[in-house]
Amino acid sequence: MELISENRCFGGSHRRYRHFSKANQCEMVFAIYLPPQALVGEKVPVLYWLSGLTCTDENFATKAGAQRYAAKHSVALVMPDTSPRGENVANDERYNLGQGAGFYVNATSEPWASHYQMYDYVVNELPVLIEQHFPVNNMKSIAGHSMGGHGALQIALKNPERYRSVSAFAPIVNPSQTPWGQTAFHAYLGENPKEWANYDSTELLRQVSHAIPIRIDQGLSDDFYPVELQPEKFIEIAEQKGFFLAYFMHAGYDHSYYFVSSFIGEHIAFHAQYLK
């Protein structure tokens, strides 16, 4: 791994790294925030954060103010990029497809399949790297915003043994039925509806018999609600199946990091209770 930058932050250390990803067959960048406890040898749990469309690892790191709360609760934050990148990596002029828009799936259609294996990267490759090189234990939770909320929920539903809890801000919970998701799934996964359902959190929730604790926050002044964002569909199924889901609607809040920064402290506290 190549260290790109390191900054002291709330007594801990925020670092960015570059490394070659076997899953994505290109160089990837991720950030990690190590709270003060990790710097003196204590192994801490990890919250993985997945960002939304057009973002890199830096949007959340610089705008959400999450490091303050991670330091308070002794939790490391891991923030991967949202897609593979590079001159040889397929791309598209649309903001909701290609670089910056990996949708946390394993693409099966070309030209995307050669590099866009973000599901394997987040679930398998990156945690191994983190646990080998940093003072963390094997306790993990996962969270995200918008496209990243979609990623966090579908990953958690398919891997309940790997994560202790999951949360999302304004998640795309039903991507196979919304314009953003349909654009991405058609390109990355082809025409097979079974492939689409395997990455659709609402469809996955119908199939599972067990779900880890879930929290979802939705701003009611979000320009993408309720066309792209349909949390009520997901919540209805969770309630029918008796799963624990805390849902909060916020009048006046939009889709931006002003919204995320307003409630990220509550999300990290939510995860901390399950990580210890």
As annotated, the active-site residues are: 146, 222, 255
Which token pair is 118? 């973000």
Residue 93, judged by CB atoms within 10 A of its CB (0-12, 13-18, 19+), counts as exposed
Q: Are 67 and 34 in contact (CB under 8 A)?
A: no
Phi/psi of residue 87, nearest 5 degrees: -60, -30
Q: Is the peptide bond before 111 cis (omega within 30 degrees of 0)?
A: yes
Contacts of 199 (CB under 8 A, 6+ apart): 103, 104, 105, 119, 150, 154, 175, 176, 185, 189
Residues 84, 102: contact at Cβ < 8 Å? yes
Q: Which residue has the tokens 């795309």?
A: 172
- Convert 112-134 to b/e letters by CB count within 10 Å (16 or more is b): beebbbbbbbbbebbbebbeeeb
CA distance 222 to 237: 23
221: its two tokens: 């002044």
* Nearest alpha-carbon partner for 275 in 48, 122, 93: 48
For residue 74, which phi and psi values (nearest 5 degrees)? Answer: 55, 50
